[in-house]
Amino acid sequence: MKHVVPCGKLYRALVLVFVAAVVPSLLSAQDAPRRGRKYTPPPPTAKITVTVVKATNGKPVENAAVVFHPIKKGKDQGGLELKTNEDGKVSIDIIPIGDIVRLQVIADGFQTFGDDYELPTDTKNITVKLRHPDRQYSIYEKHDDSKEQGGATSASDRPAQPAQQPSQATPQPVESSDTKPQPN
């Protein structure tokens, strides 16, 4: 019995199917790129290192909460809180150069600190000296005007002093030109 396998025709058919399936997909990979969202690389960032120390002796404050608030076009972009290490330091490198960062430092037994910083270069080192809290400020007590109290930074920030009470002397009548008697 003679068994004949048409090897040439089968082989040609398989090659033809393979070429018909693979070649168009290879050619489409060489087409012009599709229009879509373009990749924009992130802006360069500044490395901010904050060192938190006690104002009285310069020793580091461990476990202080340091909150970073990036400010972009005058709007707060949210906050990121980190804790200081045993050296009182914390670092962050995700805020773009040229932005402003609002820094807030909170630690038990110390006054809360807050200030805004510009980031003009790729590194920024900030040292924060925390003070123990002062007495509560009251407008009903006499205060030394030369000493800043209650968080006031300038004389314009302090509350206005109450007006002086007029003396108990009898008021003198005030004559005006309109009320003088006219001669007859």
Query: How far apart are the C-alpha atoms of 171 and 177, rounded to whole Å?
Result: 19
Residue 105 counted as domain residue: yes
What is the predicted pLDDT for the residue at 103?
93
Residue 4 counted as domain residue: no
CA 102 to chain CA centroid, nearest Å: 4
> Count of domains in the chain?
1
CB 107 within 8 A of CB 65: yes
117 Cβ neighbours under 8 A, 6+ residues apart: 48, 100, 101, 102, 103, 124, 126
Read off the pLDDT of residues 120-153 as tens digits, 9 standing for 90 and up: 999 999 999 999 988 777 788 887 776 654 432 3
CB 131 within 8 A of CB 52: no
Residue 48 counted as domain residue: no
Query: How far apart are the C-alpha atoms of 91 and 50, rounded to whole Å?
Result: 6
What is the predicted pLDDT for the residue at 47?
94
Give the global pTM: 0.55
Residue 96 counted as domain residue: yes
Residue 46 counted as domain residue: no
Residue 103 counted as domain residue: yes
What is the predicted pLDDT for the residue at 39?
86
Query: How far apart are the C-alpha atoms of 71 and 14, rounded to whole Å?
Result: 64
**Positions of the chain with pLDDT lower than 70, given as ranges:** 1-8, 23-34, 146-184
The whole domain housing 113 covers 57-130
CA distance to 170, 171, 179, 181, 182, per residue, from 176 (Å)? 19, 15, 6, 11, 13
Residue 92 counted as domain residue: yes
Residue 120 counted as domain residue: yes
What is the predicted pLDDT for the residue at 128?
94
Which CATH number characterizes residue 106's domain?
Answer: 2.60.40
